[in-house]
Amino acid sequence: MQESPAQADSEVHLPLVMDHLYHCVCGHEFAVDHNRGGQCPSCCRRVSGEALQDAYEATVSLSSLQNSEQDRDVEFSPIDAMTDHVFGHFKLEKQLGQGGMGAVYRALDTSLERYVAVKVMRNKGDKTPQRVNDMLREAVAQARLNHPHVVTIYYVGREQEEPFLAMELLPGPTLSERIRRQGAIPYPEAIEYGIQVASALKHATIFDLIHADIKPANLILAGDGRVKISDFGLARMQNLENTKDSGSLAGTPSYVAPELLRGGAYSIQSDMYALGVTLFEMVFARLPIELKGESLHSKLESLRNAEIDFPNPWPNALPREFKNVLQRLLAKDPEHRYANYDELLEAFRSIAPVSTTPAGFAPRLMAYAVDQACLLAAMAPFAISIFSIQASGAQSRQLLIPILAFASLIVPALYLFLIYKGWSSLGRYLFQLRIVEEHGLPPRREQLVPREVLRNAFAWFFPLALYVSLQSVSVSKGIEYSLIAVLGLNSFALFLLGRRKALHDYLCHSNVVLAVNKSVFRT
């Protein structure tokens, strides 16, 4: 972010890394190792070597972090609309929303002539100033997160008694508003949002941050299928010895992990639980556990003990693997969730639908022709040898015919083995085709093998018909007529039913789509 002279007057550039010193968000400087990072002796926040690689400077208002007598009078809930108030060089224009931690306004940055979002926590009464100081410090920490799926913080400061922060203004709405207005979010879109949020949370752990309040209301749509995490106001330090922390349990009840209700510590697994609830809500437009009871205590008790209310029967439009991922994310015991975000991202990507653009007839037919030609060419030496022996009439060599016929089975066996291991056929590789199951996911191995047997029936059984014709012409004719019937049904299904699916695709619940960025022989 470029600075104006006006902004430079009220801010000081603090070096994050200089002479092996790191300036922590709590204001303390300490020595660090550029490769291994370090831990602040004052607030116990860790900084990793990875975080230091791109850390050069931070723009923070020095005066905004100074404690004063006025800091003791802070109220987190908004009091009144402050339209036309000026905070620093931000002129508030319209209230966009409010919550337990403050009110958010659209504001004009008079320095750079652009609109931003300004969050204000107003002063009144004798509320706890320490929590506001912590929140402002976490906002400074969030400002150091350079990630495409985290809302960018531009400025943290105070205007007289009022603490505030300025951040990126997004078109919105939040996912909560989207669900409320339009209902469930399509599965492919929801999984993509899950991947984006998980990657942002992984990035936050580099800076020792746990969000602690993941929910649809804190995920803002940023256009082009992107979502950004906002509101790190409840964020915790993941490596703090006791992350039950200096405050008390905070968060939104429906998204709070069960172990926190038992007095457990905040962790990346508690964020994973909240992300699991959020994913469930996105796809089904409801919460996985209904809070029951009159009091907050009874509702939290029901949250801690109730089982997940999965749809029964499971919808055909959703892959079963999605349920398995949700069950693990929503496990009561945090040890049963994913060990880290790399593991979670791998699980998400494995159930994320790939390109579902149907392949055209021409590339499919050409890929099929290439595969059939390759298989027949591989089996040709066996066929030629058998017919040569048969034509020679030498009785002593007749015993070699069944041996060669049996040996020719090596070709289909090897082909099916490679398919089972996840390799693509040469035809599909050359014409950039990919097989997916009905939900757009990579097909299971046990689904691929029978599909390939049916798809390549001609290559398997035509040589068989030739071998059998040496013994029985009538049986050979029966095999040939069966092959013609299969080819006819395949052509009818592919060209006339309108779904671009061959008979083996209907039987095995698969689709042929255009491959995306596939440079190896993998399906």
Give the whole-angstrom CA distance, residue 39 versus residue 208.
10
At the topology level of CATH, where does 175-350 sit?
Answer: Transferase(Phosphotransferase); domain 1 (1.10.510)
Q: What angle do CA 428, 433, 438 make, to 5 degrees?
A: 120
Helices and strands, counts by H and E, the chain:
18, 19
Contact 117, 167 (CB under 8 A): yes
| Antiparallel, parallel or unpaired: β 29-31 and 21-23 | antiparallel
How buried is residue 316: exposed, middle or buried, by Cβ count under 10 Å (0-12/13-18/19+)?
A: exposed
Tokens representing residue 94 in the block: 């319209």
CA 496 to chain centre: 38
Question: What are the helix (H) ranges across 144-264?
Answer: 175-182, 187-206, 258-261
Residue extent(s) of CATH 3.30.200.20 domains in the chain: 63-167
Integer-rounded Cα radius of gyration of the chain: 32
Name the segment(s) of the chain with CATH classification 1.10.510.10: 175-350
**To 10 degrees, what angle do helices 473-496 and 457-469 make?**
160
Q: 3-state class of 344 per DSSP? A: helix
What are the DSSP E strand ranges found in 76-214? 86-87, 90-99, 102-109, 114-120, 153-159, 162-167, 209-210
What is the distance between the alpha carbons of residues 514 and 436, in angstroms, rounded to a whole number?
10
Q: Give how far Cα 129 sits from Cα of 123, 167, 500, Å.
A: 9, 22, 65
pLDDT per residue of the chain (523 residues) written in tens, 0 to 9: 333 333 333 333 333 444 456 767 676 777 777 677 788 888 777 777 666 654 433 322 222 223 333 333 333 334 456 777 888 889 998 888 776 567 888 898 888 888 898 888 765 544 556 666 766 776 777 788 889 999 988 988 888 777 888 999 888 789 999 999 999 999 999 999 999 999 999 998 888 888 888 999 989 998 888 999 987 756 566 655 444 444 455 667 888 888 888 888 889 999 999 999 999 999 999 999 887 777 777 777 777 778 899 999 999 889 889 999 999 999 999 999 999 999 999 999 989 887 667 788 888 889 988 998 998 888 888 878 877 877 776 666 667 777 887 788 888 889 888 888 888 889 888 888 888 887 778 787 778 888 888 888 777 777 766 666 666 667 667 767 777 777 777 777 766 666 668 888 888 888 888 876 543 344 4
Q: Which CATH architecture has domain 63-167?
A: 2-Layer Sandwich (3.30)
